[in-house]
């Protein structure tokens, strides 16, 4: 496969200004050259030309926080009652849909019985269409902690260390920890710290020694601080980040993976009884979502924290796998993020969160040609 996408307006994902009348030479799935069409090298002129005039080209979007095993329309408690084969078949449709809307890479940050790892193998083998995937296996929670119903429950540093190693054995790229409570678990305080600093440090040691990263679900500042002191690589959500924890995050070099849309879902369509019940249960959190989102973005940008983003799609009955990353980017802009910076976060930055920055995330020579178009990728 050797062709040139010619004449479109290119946003390359690096934060640079768009390039009008651009050309991208693609050969065997990799980017050979990118620049102005008028500067196209003679070797590229021999390739087939595909006219994309009037269109915009940008890197395939990356979702750094997603749950592909859950449909985001029913409660996880309902889904846990479903036959495993049905979950597999629905998840197969979900990963196809994710790719079709331009999200070419995802990091599954908490799955179901390792179904997500089977999906990754099937995608890599070419059996089913879907995005590139990194996975974390089962989340690790304290006994009775957030998402304990899908978690590997563990207590004490040695048991948490063993739990982390179990996920790595199963094929995890990232170990996912539950540092605080969460709204998807009924009756929990999202500010309450759960896994301790010592427990998370044991997981970090186990993961880093095997070349894996560690992420922690953390809303409240106590859990955020414990996770950062433990040495983890990313804070997921980070809802109540404050000056102290922001400074610590910058000092430790951890990423903040924001999930704005899950706290501010699109309620414009017809809702099922399950979804209506979830709206009622979580209304107090929705009321603060916009203010929290604006404050989080302002503080993170002011401090110079490295930002990633994800949808948390599948994480609750109001987190549907539709155009989820489009809404995440839209909310970043509505909450004060410049548009090109928001796109950079959803592409180049997220590639770095996934440790794939040398392969994807921007339209640059040598990288995979994960270039977004209306359906799929080039």
Phi then psi for 362, rounded to 5 degrees? -155, 155
201, pLDDT greater than 90: yes
Taking the CB of residue 28, how many other CB atoms lie within 10 A of it? Answer: 8
Q: Determine the Cα–Cα distance for residues 43 and 68; give it in Å rounded to an integer.
A: 41
User: Could you write out the DSSP letters of every residue in 10-31?
Assistant: E--SSSPPPEEEEEEEEETTEE
Query: Where is average pLDDT lowest: 115-119, 286-290, 327-331?
Result: 286-290
Q: Determine the Cα–Cα distance for residues 348 and 261; give it in Å rounded to an integer.
A: 20
Q: Which among 99, 30, 89, 16 has a CA at the least distance from the CA of 376?
A: 99
Tokens 């799935």 sit at which residue? 29
pLDDT at 375: 40
> pLDDT band at residue 378, thresholds of 50, 70 and 90?
very low
Q: Determine the Cα–Cα distance for residues 270 and 275; give it in Å rounded to an integer.
A: 9
Q: What is the dihedral of CA 365, 366, 367, 372, to 10 degrees?
A: 40
Report the chain's C-alpha Rg in angstroms: 20
Phi then psi for 195, rounded to 5 degrees? -55, 140
> pLDDT band at residue 156, thresholds of 50, 70 and 90?
very high
Q: Determine the Cα–Cα distance for residues 189 and 268; give it in Å rounded to an integer.
A: 28
* Range 100-117 average pLDDT: 96
Q: Per-residue pLDDT tens for 276-321? A: 888 888 777 777 877 889 999 999 999 999 999 999 999 999 999 9
DSSP assigned state of 44: G
**Cα-based angle 163, 320, 307 (whole degrees, multiple of 5):** 65
pLDDT at 184: 84
- Residue 21's contacts (CB-CB under 8 Å, 6 or more residues apart) are 7, 8, 9, 36, 37, 38
User: Could you write out the DSSP letters of every residue in 211-279?
Assistant: T-EEEEEE-SHHHHHHHHHHT-SEEEE-TT--HHHHHHHHHHT-EEEE-TGGGS----S---HHHHHHH
Q: Determine the Cα–Cα distance for residues 160 and 177; give it in Å rounded to an integer.
A: 9
pLDDT at 376: 42
pLDDT at 132: 97
Q: Per-residue pLDDT tens for 246-271? A: 999 999 999 999 999 988 888 888 89
Taking the CB of residue 90, how many other CB atoms lie within 10 A of it? Answer: 16
Q: Are 172 and 210 within 8 A, CB to CB?
A: no
pLDDT at 374: 41
Backbone angle region of 2, left / alpha / beta, with phi > 0 → left and psi within -120 to 50 → alpha:
beta
Q: Are 377 and 60 within 8 A, CB to CB?
A: yes
377, pLDDT greater than 70: no
Q: Per-residue pLDDT tens for 5-56? A: 999 999 999 999 999 999 999 999 999 999 999 999 998 888 999 999 999 9
Q: Which residues of 64-82 are buried (b: 16+ CB within 10 A; e: fewer)?
A: bbbbbbbbbbbbbeebeee
Name beta bridge partners: 6. 23, 51
Model-wide pTM > 0.85: yes
Backbone angle region of 34, left / alpha / beta, with phi > 0 → left and psi within -120 to 50 → alpha:
beta
- Give me the domains of the chain, ranges plus CATH numbers: 2-59+363-372 (2.30.40.10), 61-353 (3.20.20.140)
Q: Are 179 and 216 within 8 A, CB to CB?
A: yes
Tokens 């590139």 sit at which residue? 132
* Range 120-132 average pLDDT: 97
pLDDT at 372: 59
Mean of all residue pLDDT scores within the chain: 94
């Amino acid at each position: 496969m050797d062709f040139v996408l010619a004449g479109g307006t290119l946003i390359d994902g690096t934060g640079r200004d768009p390039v009008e009348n651009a050309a991208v030479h693609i050969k065997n799935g990799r980017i050979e050259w990118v620049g102005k069409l008028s500067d196209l090298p003679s070797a590229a002129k021999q390739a087939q030309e595909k006219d994309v005039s009037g269109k915009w080209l940008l890197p395939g979007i990356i979702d750094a926080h997603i749950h592909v095993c859950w449909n985001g329309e029913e409660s996880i408690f309902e889904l846990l009652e479903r036959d495993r084969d049905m979950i597999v078949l629905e998840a197969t449709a979900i990963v196809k849909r994710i790719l079709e809307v331009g999200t070419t890479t995802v990091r599954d940050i908490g799955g179901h019985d390792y179904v997500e790892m089977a999906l990754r193998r099937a995608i890599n083998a070419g059996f089913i269409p879907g995005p590139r995937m990194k996975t974390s296996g089962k989340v690790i929670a304290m006994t009775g902690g957030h998402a304990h119903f899908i978690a590997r429950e563990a207590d004490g540093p040695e048991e948490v260390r063993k739990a982390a190693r179990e996920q790595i054995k199963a094929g995890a790229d990232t170990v996912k920890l539950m540092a605080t409570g969460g709204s998807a678990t009924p009756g929990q305080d999202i500010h309450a710290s759960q896994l301790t600093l010592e427990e998370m440090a044991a997981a970090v040691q186990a993961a880093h020694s095997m070349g894996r990263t560690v992420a922690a679900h953390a809303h409240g500042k106590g859990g955020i601080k414990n996770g950062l002191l433990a040495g983890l690589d990313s804070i997921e959500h980070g809802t109540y980040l404050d000056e102290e924890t922001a400074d610590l995050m910058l000092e430790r070099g951890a990423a903040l993976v924001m999930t704005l849309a899950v706290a501010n879902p699109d309620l414009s369509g017809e809702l099922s009884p399950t979804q209506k019940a979830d709206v009622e249960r979580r209304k107090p959190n929705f009321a603060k979502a916009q203010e929290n989102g604006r404050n989080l973005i302002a503080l993170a940008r002011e401090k110079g924290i490295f930002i990633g983003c994800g949808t948390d799609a599948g994480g609750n009955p109001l987190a549907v796998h539709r155009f989820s990353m489009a809404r995440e980017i839209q909310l970043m802009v509505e909450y004060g993020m410049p548009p090109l910076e928001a796109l950079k976060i959803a592409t180049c930055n997220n590639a770095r969160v996934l440790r794939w920055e040398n392969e994807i995330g921007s339209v640059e020579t040598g990288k995979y040609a994960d270039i977004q178009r209306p359906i799929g990728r080039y």
